[in-house]
Amino acid sequence: MYYYSFIKTLIVALFCVGFSFTNYASANEVEADLVVQLDDPHIQIGSNFFGEELLIFGAFNSGDLSKSDIIIKVRGTSKSISVREKVKKYGIWVNSDDTIIDNVPSYYAIYSNRNIQRITTQDFLKENQIGLGYLKFVSNEKNQTPNIYKEIIKKNKEEGIFIERYTGVRIVGDKLFRASVQLPKDINEGSYDVTIYFFDDQKLVDRDTSRVFVNKTLAGKYIYTQANERPLLYGIICVVIAWIAGLSVAGLSRAR
């Protein structure tokens, strides 16, 4: 863990040195725009995966970051989910029919240096779906109540799938920024869009979009497949492994 943190710190330090050198070398040239770097755009999920930190860092050459604002949005692929709502019929509470909700992100995180409501306009936040309150779900029910949407957001926040951290972006000096985005242990395979918005006086100055790919290792993929497609066989294998491990421990204890 300490070694991994050291590597991340070293990457940021090298980036800072490299950016300073580039800034000096191009002082008389056209100034660069937003420069963004991800520490690991390819994340492997194994059987011992318990979550990960995605380090995002960068700089903006033509401006003073200490007087500007940054929003980072990380969004996974959209999915459809089936939900039921409690409704009152004939004086009792019962489950309603299945409601299909589309356009639900498999992962969604907002990191910024301060409250996004103070960074830019509500119209911009709504248009770009920045913030949990501006996510646009789609339902197959015309008269869908907003309570279901609130419950979806609440449940995903509790599970670490939806994240909002308005102090998650750290400004380093007046040119550099960094953020450590938390990826949960239950993150799905797929591609994740990382979009950085740079604002000055509530106006968008520049943006950058990168992509992170999450894949399971061969062992992790096999375990996941067995657990989801053949749960009975997976359970039997787990019991057998636990039984063999128990016998091994008992044998070692007797030998001593």
CATH number at residue 67: 2.60.40.2550
Kindly state whether residues 109 and 159 are assigned to the same domain. Answer: yes
Q: What is the rounded distance in angstroms from the CA atom of residue 167 to the CA atom of residue 118? A: 13
Specify whether 64 is located in the same domain as 172.
yes
* Domain shared by 75 and 151, yes or no: yes
Of residues 96 and 159, more confidently modeled: 159
Residues 206 and 131 both lie in one domain: yes
Q: What is the pLDDT of residue 198?
A: 92
**One domain, residues 133 and 43:** yes
Between residues 108 and 64, the one the model is more confident about: 108
Q: In terms of domains, do 237 and 153 share one? A: no
Residue 52 lies in a domain: yes
**Residue range 126-152: mean pLDDT, rounded:** 84
Q: How many domains does the chain have?
A: 2
Which candidate, 78, 70, 45, 76, places its Cα nearest to that of 163? 76
* Cα–Cα distance for residue pair 212/193, rounded to 1 Å: 6
CA-to-CA distance for 206 and 34, rounded, in angstroms? Answer: 7
Tell me if 240 is assigned to some domain: yes
In three-state form (DSSP H/G/I as H, E/B as E, the rest C), the secondary structure along 160-197 is CCEEEECCCCEEECCCEEEEEEEECCCCCCEEEEEEEE
In a domain, 126, yes or no: yes
Task: For residue 94, tell me if it sits in a domain.
Answer: yes
Same domain, 137 and 167: yes
In this structure, are 169 and 239 located in the same domain?
Answer: no
Would you give the end-to-end CA distance of the chain in angstroms? 34
pLDDT per residue as tens digits for the range 165-187: 999 999 887 778 999 999 888 88
Residues 129 and 200 grouped into a single domain = yes
Q: For residue 84, is it within any domain?
A: yes
| Residue 195 sits in the same domain as residue 243 | no
Query: Is the pLDDT score of 141 beyond 60?
Result: yes
Residues 47 and 62 occupy one common structural domain: yes
Domain-embedded: residue 72: yes
Question: What are the angstrom distances between the C-alpha of 218 and each of 29, 86, 153, 199?
Answer: 48, 41, 32, 42
Structural domain harbouring 89: 32-216
In a domain, 8, yes or no: no
At 19-77, the pLDDT tens digits run 444 443 333 333 447 888 888 788 887 767 778 889 998 887 766 677 789 999 999 99
Per-residue pLDDT of 214-244, as tens digits, reads: 887 644 545 555 555 566 655 666 666 666 6
Mean pLDDT over the full length of the chain? 75
In whole angstroms, what is the distance from residue 19 CA to residue 35 CA? Answer: 9
Is residue 75 located within the same domain as residue 46? Answer: yes
Query: Considering the entire predicted model, what is its pTM?
Result: 0.70
Give the residue from 106, 160, 159 showing the smallest Cα distance to 135.
106
Does a structural domain hold residue 15? Answer: no
